[in-house]
């Protein structure tokens, strides 16, 4: 059997699922396959950062996921039987952000929700299915599955994890660094006389080899640095009790127990021409410290899919796709640096203050860890995330992000009267006044007063100018595209 589609996605972890979901929302057809029998049920990633929460707003996933999780914005240090540090300044200082915290929520919830939505849309994952070979030509890709089926697609997204078939098939270099750091991870319902608080706690003993991660519902997670591959659950629990003294802890109900060794790598390239693209762990892997893995992968999908949408549905030049690697590879490298610094601080400290060093690095690397410091470009407003703010219309209040459309650019006009504009169909206009209005949106926020912003579908700022430059910004955007129809809108 042969199937034809716009995008063939290999791997149905959170990144592949989100890529398929976003593509379907943009009117792109997808086929997505995975070896597994179903979405994840337990384990793996455990936190969504503030920036991811904003992006989930764009995809209409936020309202269903948020109530399931536990907000957490404090990193604490426990030493000699007491808390010696409890800090959240890096979250508190954020501007243009309503959710100044992690949402502690297992990866399984994300996968299950998106999997359900894809199935309901008739674009469900082809499970227990594996890839055999891939051929790429000038007109597209031909992939053969192990069951003999053929998938013809315009694009392939390899979201198939750290052992990526796609990356290996195209022999993309992926040199892995393996610091000798091995961790145990335990998800469980615990019984303890230690007060359960919604804080990430790093325990300072001889080193900082234990971290307590609060989670949704009744479970908690512990990371325990073991530095050897052969160990038991009982040995891991013994180290927790040493770090937590004089308190004690036992497992009431075990949910997940695993181990992982730290591996760090970024693929030499994220794409083969303009046809095959890597995302998530297929493109970059690193330590779990700082909770950046899942969040970085999801941002890959948000960055990539709107570009494919603009190329396929609105005639954008295919060169737009080159910006995917140009923008996301530096982010991956910065994540490697920050997570690597964090994980090494748990074992190595010149002063023996491992846990305090760890929290200090969190503060220094807060831009990556919160996700709010990620930008495309080095200076100015262009390339930065759009600040969220509260908009009011009549008696109703809306967060700005809830009004954005992932399938379109948004021209945000922070002024009184929008002039007549010639717009392509992939740009929508949102007028926001700075003075109280009964019939229009208005805001008390002053970040963008008397400015016009052109905002990308992934909510990063494409261009900014004064109110009289609205049409110039539109025209500059259109110059990147071809074969588009224009319509007229009167502000």
The pLDDT assigned to 365 comes to 87
Six token digits for residue 491: 């502000």
- pTM, to two decimals: 0.94
CA distance 455 to 138: 32
Residue 463's closest CA among 409, 426, 420, 417? 409
Identify how many contiguous H helices and E strands the chain contains and give both numbers. Answer: 12, 28
The pLDDT assigned to 482 comes to 61
CA distance 123 to 366: 37
Six token digits for residue 64: 């269903």
The pLDDT assigned to 261 comes to 85
CA distance 292 to 366: 11
Low-confidence spans in the chain with pLDDT less than 70: 207-208, 482-491
């Amino acid at each position: 059997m042969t199937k034809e589609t716009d995008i063939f996605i290999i791997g149905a972890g959170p990144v592949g699922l989100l890529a398929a979901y976003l593509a379907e929302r943009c009117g792109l057809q997808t086929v997505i396959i995975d070896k597994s029998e179903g979405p994840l049920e337990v384990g793996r990633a455990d936190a969504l950062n503030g920036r991811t929460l904003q992006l989930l707003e764009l995809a209409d996933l936020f309202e269903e996921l948020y109530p399931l999780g536990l907000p957490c914005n404090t990193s604490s240090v426990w030493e000699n039987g007491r808390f010696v540090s409890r800090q959240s300044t890096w979250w508190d200082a954020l501007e243009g952000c309503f959710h100044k915290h992690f949402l502690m929520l297992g990866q399984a919830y994300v996968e299950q929700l998106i999997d359900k939505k894809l199935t309901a849309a008739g674009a469900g994952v082809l499970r227990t299915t594996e890839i055999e070979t891939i051929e790429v030509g000038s007109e597209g890709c031909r992939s053969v599955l192990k069951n003999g089926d053929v998938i013809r697609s315009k694009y392939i997204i390899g979201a198939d994890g750290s052992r990526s078939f796609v990356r290996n098939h195209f022999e993309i270099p992926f040199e892995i660094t393996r610091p000798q750091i091995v961790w145990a991870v335990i998800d469980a319902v615990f019984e303890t006389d230690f007060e359960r608080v919604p804080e990430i706690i790093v325990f300072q003993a001889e080193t900082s080899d234990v971290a307590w991660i609060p989670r949704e519902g009744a479970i908690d997670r512990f990371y325990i640095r073991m530095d050897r591959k052969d160990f038991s659950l009982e040995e891991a629990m013994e180290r927790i009790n040493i770090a937590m003294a004089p308190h004690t802890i036992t497992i009431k109900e075990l949910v997940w127990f695993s181990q992982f060794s730290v591996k760090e790598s970024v693929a030499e390239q994220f794409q083969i021409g303009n046809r095959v693209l890597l995302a998530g762990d297929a493109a970059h892997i690193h330590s779990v410290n700082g909770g950046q893995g899942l969040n970085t992968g999801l941002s890959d999908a948000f960055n990539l899919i709107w570009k494919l949408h603009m190329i396929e549905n609105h005639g954008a030049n295919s060169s737009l796709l080159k910006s995917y690697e140009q923008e996301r590879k530096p982010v991956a490298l910065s994540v490697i640096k920050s997570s690597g610094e964090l994980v090494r601080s748990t074992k190595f400290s010149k002063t023996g203050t491992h846990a305090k060093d760890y929290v200090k690095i969190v503060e220094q690397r807060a831009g990556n860890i919160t996700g709010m410091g990620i930008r495309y470009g080095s200076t100015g407003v262009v390339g930065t995330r759009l600040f969220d703010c509260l908009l009011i219309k009549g008696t109703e209040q809306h967060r700005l992000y809830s009004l954005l459309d992932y399938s379109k650019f948004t021209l945000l006009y922070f002024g009184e009267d929008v002039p007549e504009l010639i717009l392509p169909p992939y740009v929508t206009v949102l007028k926001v006044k700075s003075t109280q209005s009964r019939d229009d949106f208005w805001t008390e926020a002053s970040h963008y007063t008397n400015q016009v912003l052109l905002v990308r579908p992934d909510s990063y700022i494409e261009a900014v100018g004064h109110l009289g430059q609205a049409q110039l910004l539109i025209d500059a955007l259109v110059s990147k595209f071809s074969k588009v129809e224009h319509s007229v809108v009167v502000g």
